[in-house]
Structure 1
Amino acid sequence: MNDQIEHPFELRERTKLFGLRIVRMFVALPKSEEARVLGRQVLRSGTSVGANYREAHRSRSKAEFIAKLGDCLKELDETAYWLELLTESAIVPPAKLASLQDETDQLLAILTTISKKSKE
């Protein structure tokens, strides 16, 4: 985890790849109305993580940086919620989203650590 904190470019790329995985997951969802409603929600929140992370690194102050990281965390938490709904509603088998859910959890942990350290 410390390696990610020390290399913001790698985390920038990782959040972008996360967004791409979300897009691919959305495209592969069943064509039911329920899947599309939940899918649009996870598409919105999951793809905004990388954009907010980039904005954080363009911030003009420490307070702005911390606020943008907070936006990243909020969107990641929301993404986790929609992924849970997709599996718990049996729209998508849990095994198909396990890796994406794991990446969501890892990004939450990394960005939480960065946020806490930034506030010190």
Structure 2
Amino acid sequence: MTKDLKDRTKNFTHRCIKLSLSLPDSYLGNHIKKQLIRCSTSVAPNYRATCIAQSKKAFISKISIVIEEIDESNFWIQFSIDENLITLEKCKSLLKESDELTRIFISSRKTANLNINTNQ
């Protein structure tokens, strides 16, 4: 599963970058491009960091960053749609992927938290 999620998070990043580059060259479009590139390019490397975390607490900390960055990416995609900079149709599968990844990582964080609490 780790390899699959490494590939999925990297692919998510690539797709977000491609989407951001398709936004219009306007003040708002350029601002969203930068924001989307910044948060989405954090997802894959931070997930990789969770894979080599040296403790459960480090894992939880790193996976929390991954969740936040995916959620922020999702926000900027949705905001771009709201501002009519891009169509929902163009983003539907990417929004679905961000939702699936978020659910997976939240579930992983819950499991890790349970393991910490039961081992104390």
Length-normalised TM-score, structure 1: 0.91
**2:34, 2:89 → 1: CA distance?**
21
1:14 corresponds to which letter in structure 2? R
Shift of 1:35: 0.8
1:60 match: secondary structure: coil
Indicate which of 33, 36, 39 corresponds to 2:33: 39
Q: Which runs of 4+ in 1 moved over 3 A?
A: none
Matched with 1:29 is 23
Q: How does 1:30-69 map to 2 (within 5 A)?
A: 30-69=24-63
Q: How does 1:1-120 map to 2 (within 5 A)?
A: 7-120=1-114
* Partners of 2:67 and 2:102 within 8 A in 1: yes
1:12-61 C-alpha deviation (Å, 9 max, x unpaired): 11100101111111222211221110111011111111111001112111
User: RMSD across aligned C-alpha pairs, in angstroms?
Assistant: 0.9
Length-normalised TM-score, structure 2: 0.91
**Percent of matched pairs sharing the same residue:** 30
Structure 2 regions of 5+ residues with no counterpart? Answer: 115-120
Higher Cα Rg: structure 1 or 2?
A: 2
